[in-house]
Chains A and B, each alone.
Chain A
Amino acid sequence: NAGVTQTPKFQVLKTGQSMTLQCAQDMNHNSMYWYRQDPGMGLRLIYYSASEGTTDKGEVPNGYNVSRLNKREFSLRLESAAPSQTSVYFCASSESSAVQYFGPGTRLTVT
């Protein structure tokens, strides 16, 4: 039982490049989330998916797109990376208890 897994763990991009962050959970949770963590700002919600087939914007969705591929997988895409998107990205999942289970994070640097 791996919980929530994320790939890659680290990534360096040049401005304008694109990439997709992958997330998968094996807990059969309905809801999945993408956050970014920046120093002194806690976690900010980028997008979430309350259930398979639905996605909604969070607090900071600009510059990102998401796909809920199936119940297990929720990917985050940066179409044209900018230095302001340098951050640590966390995927999480949850069920009715509202407790969130987090992956180990992806550390992204955009130069």
Chain B
Amino acid sequence: GDSVTQMEGPVTLSEEAFLTINCTYTATGYPSLFWYVQYPGEGLQLLLKATKADDKGSNKGFEATYRKETTSFHLEKGSVQVSDSAVYFCALTDTGGFKTIFGAGTRLFVKA
């Protein structure tokens, strides 16, 4: 079945450092890919998405490119801030669009 694998955390960075969180997936068909972010004590919220190969999703300085050849959707940000400290989830939705599969989540700590 479909699955999502993302790098284990926690990831600890200093403010203004470059961030990469790796995500790879296994899926049949042509899934849509997502990154969600969860701040402490809250539910998940959409960070960015890409619906087809070579699409780049971007939001709040974060970017991820849908790479079908490597089945990857790595999250990047050029300069992280303390306020980016959160848990990040990579996810895919099957072609039917009803069910979403989430990765285990990667916790990010950013130090001032």
B-contacting residues of A (Cβ < 8 Å)?
Answer: 4, 31, 33, 40-43, 45, 48, 50, 58, 90, 92, 94, 96, 98-105
Return the chain A residue nearest B9 by Cβ.
A40
Chain A residues contacting B46 (CB-CB under 8 Å) are: 99-101
Contacts of B45 in A (CB 8 A): 101-102
B32:A98 contact, CB within 8 angstroms:
yes
B positions within 8 Å CB-CB of A:
4, 32, 34, 36, 41-46, 49, 89, 93, 97-100, 102-105
Given contacts A41-B104, A42-B89, A98-B32, contact A104 B43 (CB under 8 A): yes
A48 contacts which chain B residues (CB < 8 A)? 98-99
Residues of A within 8 A of B98 (CB): 31, 48, 50
CA distance A4 to B4 in the complex (A): 25
Instruction: Determine the chain B residues whose CB is within 8 A of the CB of A96 once the complex forms.
Output: 97
* A98 and B89 form a contact (CB under 8 A): no
Q: When the two chains form their complex, are residues A40 and B104 in contact, meaning their CB atoms are under 8 A apart?
A: yes
- Looking at the complex, which one of B4, B49, B102, B104 makes contact with A99 (CB distance below 8 Å)? B49
Residues of chain B lying within 8 A (CB to CB) of residue A104:
41-43
